Chain A
Amino acid sequence: MIVPVHGRHITSVGFQAGKDKMNAVVVKSKEVTLLEILDRVLDKGVVISGDMVISVADVDLIYLGLKVLLSSVETIEKLKGSPFTSPM
């Protein structure tokens, strides 16, 4: 069982609410993979339809090709800084 951490004392670098409320630097955790980006950009986000819009159809097909894509990318992206990258 995990005990939830209570209190508001912990602040994380870059996210303190300061005078400039939007100055938070975009800091990605280290192991962001291309997969993460593809999964969001292709599959999520606002979808608008209408006569004046051309929208990317059937993105599910992309997943079929994803393996090919990901293996073409240097694996360092997913290996970077992760202690669990080679399970076994």
Chain B
Amino acid sequence: MAENGQLVYLYCIADSEPKIEQIEDADNNLYSICHNCLYAVVGKVDQREFGEEGLKRNMADMEWIKAKVSVHERIIEQVMADTDVIPFKFGTLFSTDASLKAMLEQYGQEFKAILGKLAFKQEWGFKIYYSPEKLKANLSNGDFEILKIEDEIKSASAGKSYFLKKKKDELIGKTLNEKINECGQESFELLKELSFEARINRLLPREVTERDDEMVLNSVFLVDRDEVGDFRNMVDTLKMHYEGKGFYIDCTGPWPPYNFCGLSSGKG
């Protein structure tokens, strides 16, 4: 099916003609396919590398994934510097230009609706991590109830002291959860108000983040370009408020709107 052992790799769909010649592309095989005023940014890839068998083999090779995923992201970022884009998932491949055009024909109206929604907006990622030890230390210093119990423990008998320590641990656990929820919820709500759309994604475990602290919020926001200043200002406010108290806030962007371009008929 594929022509000359090559497949067509789709990076993104743009709503105006992308400046392909300005995009850094080491393999120099990037081009765009226009159909009904939609521009698909594509590249020719080797079927041995990206065909079903090759892909299966290569998806087990982390170095390969790392390199290819970075290229995917870099190309879309360069396209989106000039035009709004719908980013596609890694490894969306077509046998020929014609089959891609057929897809553009089939989904054209939906793509246009998505591009309409995404126009003049940016995706920003916002994650909160917390360090149990730091947060606990912070709590013990600042919480009146906990300090009171600590005081009582000092002057209590052995039996009563055991009971009080247990009470203190429970109180710390409860306060800890409250603080985490408060931080996560408040941050999310405040940023949501400055956004067009907001989503909460699954938390990534430490094995994946390779951080010592625990992720407690993984959220993404679709922000109007005119609101980005306010949005980032709010992030700074949140950082000032929460960092140093056991929380760490990680805000990144602007990203291609990977999280906000779902097709109504499927997942995305």
A interface with B by C-beta (< 8 Å): 1-2, 4-5, 7-8, 10-12, 15, 17, 21-29, 31-32, 34-50, 52-56, 59, 61-63, 65-73, 78, 82-84, 86-88
Give 25 pairs: A residue, B residue, CB < 8 Å, sorted on A: A5-B233, A5-B234, A7-B230, A11-B229, A15-B225, A24-B122, A28-B252, A28-B253, A35-B204, A36-B125, A41-B69, A46-B86, A47-B88, A48-B263, A52-B102, A53-B103, A54-B52, A55-B92, A62-B65, A66-B208, A67-B208, A72-B62, A84-B129, A87-B133, A87-B211
Query: In the bound complex, how far is the Cα of B231 from the Cα of A15, in angstroms?
Result: 12
Query: In the bound complex, how far is the Cα of B102 from the Cα of A21, in angstroms?
Result: 31
Q: Do A26 and B213 have beta carbons less than 8 Å apart?
A: no
Asked if B81 is at the interface of the complex by the 8 Å CB criterion, the answer is: yes
Q: Do B266 and A56 have beta carbons less than 8 Å apart?
A: no
Give per-residue flags for B37-62: 1 if the beta carbon is below 8 A from chain A beta carbons, else 0. Answer: 00000000000001110010001101
Query: In the bound complex, how far is the Cα of B83 from the Cα of A14, in angstroms?
Result: 15
B83: A residues at CB distance < 8 A: 22
Query: In the bound complex, how far is the Cα of B87 from the Cα of A42, in angstroms?
Result: 11
Our count of residue pairs bridging A and B at CB distance below 8 angstroms stands at 204
Q: Do B103 and A12 have beta carbons less than 8 Å apart?
A: no
Question: DSSP class of A's interface residues: helix, strand, loop or mixed?
Answer: loop
Q: How many residues of B contact A (CB 8 A)?
A: 85
Query: In the bound complex, how far is the Cα of B151 from the Cα of A82, in angstroms?
Result: 37
Query: In the bound complex, how far is the Cα of B133 from the Cα of A37, in angstroms?
Result: 29
A73: B residues at CB distance < 8 A: 66
**A56: which of B60, B66, B91, B243 is its contact (CB, 8 Å)?**
B91
